[in-house]
Structures are given as structure tokens and as C-alpha cells.
Amino acid sequence: MSSKVKKNILKLKESSTLAINEKSKELIKSGKKIYRFGFGQSPFQIPEKVVDTLKLNAHKKEYLPIQGLPELREKISNHLFKNTGVRYSKENILITPGSKEAMLLMHVTFNGEILTPAPSWVSYEPQAQIGSNKVHWLETSRENNWFPTAIELEKKLKKIGKNKNIIFILNSPNNPSGAICKNLKELAQVAKKYKLIILSDEIYTDLSFDNRYKSISEFYPKATFISGGLSKWCGAGGWRLGFLAVPNESKQFMNSLKSLASESYSTVNTPTQFAAVEAYKGDYEQYKLKVRSILNSVGNYVYNNLKSNKVIINPPQGAFYLMPEFKNKKFKTSSKLCEVILNETGVAMLPGSDFGFKPDKMLTRLSYTDFDGTQFFKNVKDYKTISDEMVRKYAPNVVEGTTKLSNWAKNL
């Protein structure tokens, strides 16, 4: 008898980000000292007023419209307009249980092929597999800040061939590299020439350390889809509140997404949508400035104390990740490297191979969020002057884990 599970689903495994989170927790429970640099979760408290709004709306039990609360869609439309200069109308915004679901629905809907840079977030490829869409990887280099150049993009597109529907995924600030894309305009020009659809994953864009929200939609609004949500800038990953903004020209796509939403999750839970209105309506600029500044300081601490002739890293620019490369000939794969590091130092990281790199590239993803963000946040009086002293005081696990890792690398 043939397998009862579809071939493309059978290939999937548990997402490595969630798996490392669970593994780290188990190890901690068993009494081991673990530095949780594997999972990417905001350590900060959700702004109080947003939490209060959730409480105030907890009794609301009616289903909201499939597409989401109109007021929330309007606020997200304004948020995008303010930051990108592009008006995605509220009719073209879909509220989803996390932006991950928004992207999954896009893959299920889309008829074509996916082009994504290496490195890219762990879930893009499996999601494309679920949608039965072929994936093409576009290799990038450290010299080019881990983003493709316009020439590289065009070369790859020529190789893929003509007359294909293609979604190009771009995520800046980037998970896993922590880098910000500086050539959006040039990439958009190529995308336009080849009539690509762009999926701009902007879940970290509010966490750009240069305090500038940059979106490729600015240069190619006609075909740029934007995904985002509350998980990163607002510290509300577990609330599962995301959105997808669809270009005004893509009505057919939008209608199909809505049908899929209605046949799967129906609509996102009501109280969270009301709380999200507050998150997108209120003025959280000071909160964001402080969050960014703390992350930037912690990221820089790790960068400064880890880089050596054995460990190469680019400085942090946004989100909460770094991507160190370990110079060694001992290990054959980055997953073996991560396994040994975890066993010998207690530092949990993810291997570069989970992000589209060849297994023999000794890259890892390091998430520098293993600290009590509430305490750190409370004790920062002036966000412009966060010293290493403060990092040592309020992010001791990050500091200790960095020392362990750095000492370990000396013996490579």
C-alpha cells in the first residue's frame, strides 16, 4: 500500500527553530547550564497599554470578519504608508495567526517557483514544499553583506529561464545574518524587469538599528507583498498576530487568500486583534528606540568579544541575530559543529545548513536574546548610552555564553 502521507509532507521535519527551543528547555530541566542562543524570540515585555487593551477585550467572543478587524487593517495600512510611502488599502490587508501563516497561505496559493537568497529563514523552503513550488537558492557572500547583488539576481533569473511565475523572498533585517539590505532599489529594478513578485518579509524591519524603516515596496509597489506583525518589535511572538499586505493590483490573489483563510483558521482571535489596534495606533517610538538600542548594544558586545582570527562575523545591523563563521578543518558539517559546541560549552545555536548554506560551510546562527528584557528595559534611563557594563549586568547569560564560545574557538 502506498504511504498515507503525501510525499511533499513526508519530507518535512519539525522546524529547527522550534526544535532547538524545546531541546534547550529539556537540557535546562535536566540540570545543565545552557546558553539559549538557538531560538529567536524577543526578550522584551509587550508595552503595558497593549496588554491592558487585550485584558479589556478578553470578554469579546464573537468571530471577526475573515480578513480581520477593519480598524486594525486600517491602522496597519497607515503604518505601512508612514514607513514606506506606499498605500496598501485596508481591503488588501489580511490578518493572520502570525506572519508565518500569511506566508504559508501565499505558498499554497501561488502557482510558480520560489527564489530565495542563501541565507534565508528556515521556514521558507518547507513552506514552498507544502505549496508544491520548486525552490531556487541564490547564494550570497559576506562581502556583499549576505544579500544578493542586482547582477547576481539577474544572472540567476537568466539561469532559471523565461516565462515563469517567480516569487522572490527578501527579508531585511535578515534572519539569520542580522544584516540590512542596502541595494533595495537595484534589486527592485531587476525584479521589475523580470516581472517577479516580491515577498518582503518585514517582521524585523522595525528593529533596524539605524532607526530607518526601509522596504523594497517603495521601489516596486505593484508587485510587492509585505508580511509583518507583532512578534518581534512588540515582543508578542506567542500572541500569533501577523498580516499580509497585498498589492492593490493583485485582487485575484487576495480573494484566494481570503478563501483559504476562511477554510482554515476562519479568523484570528478577537481580543488579540483589538489589542493589535492599540499597538499600531499608539505612539511606541520611544519603546522601539529603547528596544533597538538594547539589542544593538548586546549584539555589539557579542560581536566585539567573539570576533577573532578563528571566528569571522559581520557587525549587527538589526533583528537579534549574528552569523559567526568558525575557521576549522575538524568538523565536516555545521550541524556537527553545533552539536559539539552544545556538548562542550552549553551554547545552543543553529547550523548554517538550516538556512540554505551547504553543510560544509562552518556558519552558525546565534540569537543574542537570552536575557531578561524586562529588567534591562526598566534600567535603561537614556537609550543613547548603554555601556558594556550594563550589558554585563543585565545580559549575564549572553556575556557568559559569549566567553565560553570565544574560549572554545581558540582551540580550533
For residues 258, 72, 373, 31, the Cα torsion angle rounded to the nearest 10 degrees is -30
Q: Please spell the DSSP secondary structure of 203-232, one letter per residue.
A: TTGGGBTTS----GGGT-GGGEEEEEESTT
Q: Does residue number 175 form part of the binding site for ligand GLU (CB under 6 A)?
A: yes
Q: Which of residues 100-119 bind ligand PMP (CB under 6 A)?
A: 100
C-alpha distances out from residue 55 to 59, 287, 374, Å: 8, 20, 20
Q: Which residue type occupies 29?
A: K
Q: Does residue number 120 form part of the binding site for ligand GLU (CB under 6 A)?
A: no
* Cβ 227 to ligand PMP shortest distance, Å: 7
Q: Does residue number 147 form part of the binding site for ligand PMP (CB under 6 A)?
A: no
> Which of 38, 68, 98, 271 forms a contact with ligand PMP (CB under 6 A)?
98
Q: Which of residues 79-118 bind ligand GLU (CB under 6 A)?
A: 100
Q: Does residue number 377 form part of the binding site for ligand GLU (CB under 6 A)?
A: no
Q: Which of residues 28-47 bind ligand GLU (CB under 6 A)?
A: 39-40
> Which of 231, 293, 297, 300 forms a contact with ligand PMP (CB under 6 A)?
231
Residue nearer to ligand PMP on the CB measure, 279 or 380? 279
Give the position of cell 482554515: 264
Residue 49 is inside which H or E element, if any?
A: helix 48-56
* Cβ 125 to ligand PMP shortest distance, Å: 13
Q: Which of residues 380-409 bind ligand PMP (CB under 6 A)?
A: none
> Which of 40, 247, 271, 299 forms a contact with ligand PMP (CB under 6 A)?
40
Decide: residue 48, CB within 10 A, 0-12 exposed, 13-18 middle, 19+ buried: exposed
Give the position of cell 537540557: 27
How many CB atoms within 10 Å of residue 29? 9
**Of 7-15, 96-104, 140-148, 387-395: span binding ligand PMP (CB under 6 A):** 96-104
* Cβ 201 to ligand GLU shortest distance, Å: 10
Q: Which does residue 39 bind out of ligand PMP, ligand GLU, none, counting CB within 5 to 8 angstroms by kind?
A: ligand GLU
How far apart CA 279 and CA 282 sit, in angstroms, is: 6
Q: Does residue number 299 form part of the binding site for ligand PMP (CB under 6 A)?
A: no
Please tell me what DSSP assigns to residue 411: T
Interface mask toward ligand GLU for 46-85; x: CB under 6 A: ----------------------------------------
Residue nearer to ligand GLU on the CB measure, 39 or 326? 39
Residue nearer to ligand PMP on the CB measure, 201 or 325? 201
Q: Which does residue 242 bind out of ligand GLU, ligand PMP, none, counting CB within 5 to 8 angstroms by kind?
A: ligand PMP
Q: Strands, DSSP E only, in 56-177?
A: 93-96, 113-118, 135-139, 166-171
Q: Does residue number 12 form part of the binding site for ligand GLU (CB under 6 A)?
A: no
* Cβ 310 to ligand GLU shortest distance, Å: 25
Residue nearer to ligand PMP on the CB measure, 98 or 316? 98
How far apart CA 337 and CA 321 sit, in angstroms, is: 18
Q: Does residue number 99 form part of the binding site for ligand PMP (CB under 6 A)?
A: yes
How far apart CA 312 and CA 319 sit, in angstroms, is: 19
Provide the CA 1 distance to its chain's centre, in angstroms.
40
* Cβ 21 to ligand PMP shortest distance, Å: 11
Q: Does residue number 272 form part of the binding site for ligand PMP (CB under 6 A)?
A: no
How far apart CA 181 and CA 174 sit, in angstroms, is: 8
**Of 11-19, 70-78, 187-195, 204-212: span binding ligand GLU (CB under 6 A):** 11-19
CB 252 within 8 A of CB 28: no
Q: Does residue number 175 form part of the binding site for ligand PMP (CB under 6 A)?
A: yes
Gyration radius (Cα) of the chain, Å: 21
Cα-based angle 293, 375, 228 (whole degrees, multiple of 5): 50
Helices (H), 218-355: 251-263, 270-281, 285-306, 334-345
CB 109 within 8 A of CB 225: no
Q: Does residue number 237 form part of the binding site for ligand PMP (CB under 6 A)?
A: yes
Kindly list the residues in this chain that would bind ligand GLU in the complex (CB under 6 A).
15, 17-18, 39-40, 100, 175
Kindly list the residues in this chain that would bind ligand PMP in the complex (CB under 6 A).
40, 98-100, 121, 171, 175, 201, 203, 229, 231, 237, 242
